[in-house]
Amino acid sequence: MPDAISLAGKTVLITGASSGIGWATALAFAAKGANVVVTARREERLRELCELIVSRGGKAVYVAGDASTEATAQGCVALAVKQLKGSSVDVSVVVGFPHGSNRAETKAFESKLAIQDGAKEIDMVMNIGQFLAGNYDTVQKDIEAVVAEAKKAKVLVKVIMETCYLSKEQVAKACTIAEAAGADFVKTSTGFGDGPATPEVIEIMVKTVGKTMGVKASGGIRNWETAVGYLNQGCTRLGVASTEAVLDGAQADGKY
């Protein structure tokens, strides 16, 4: 990892923990002062992951469902919470994946269950179809439903906008809707869309709500320069899949 950049106070998301990613990756970021958030996709690795993050002072364990296992996102939350009991590490969970088309009541109920199981952060997908149709009130109420559940327990909410489908003006509009709905973060991508985060999109997000909300770049971060560039632009969290390659200064392959 290059030595010139301090990551103190930054939060880095490391994904694909079950697909061969070395734990040295998480430790390398932690050594730079970053809060390390790692996506666990298999229950059998979750216990080991929790132990690692606790021992190294990480920020959170990010639990996502995986169609290749019987473990759902919520099913793993309770296990992660149990493993992290007594530590300062949080559990994050996703709702409304991958398209955000669930009813607002469904997203709110997903959030409620995750919070009951101990989640401290919720990543929700914005209702992209309703947004593109111009039904902004519906989109805001959708976010507000999740925020209402989250705020009862002082849980953070991140809104995923799938910016690859939005114009620059729409990105700004989506940010203001998320802000008005009371969310804490805006996030670019789920990994299921047709495109990644871009510097242009991040510039709009930071300019629009960077003073009042956190901004998370996710997708397409395949080298060190891109990762650091987004942090320098004002992002406070990153979604990175090929973390080892990025840290080693290589050009990573892959869709996400």
Q: Annotated active-site positions, please? A: 123, 187, 216
CA 183, 166, 65: angle at the middle one, nearest 5?
A: 55
| Closest alpha carbon to 12 in 3, 32, 171, 121 | 32
| Closest alpha carbon to 237 in 54, 35, 49, 93 | 35
* Element holding 35 (H helix, E strand): strand 35-40
Q: Is 165 left (phi over 0), alpha (psi -120 to 50) or beta?
A: alpha
CA distances from 18 to 13, 41, 46, 78, 181 (A): 14, 6, 9, 19, 34
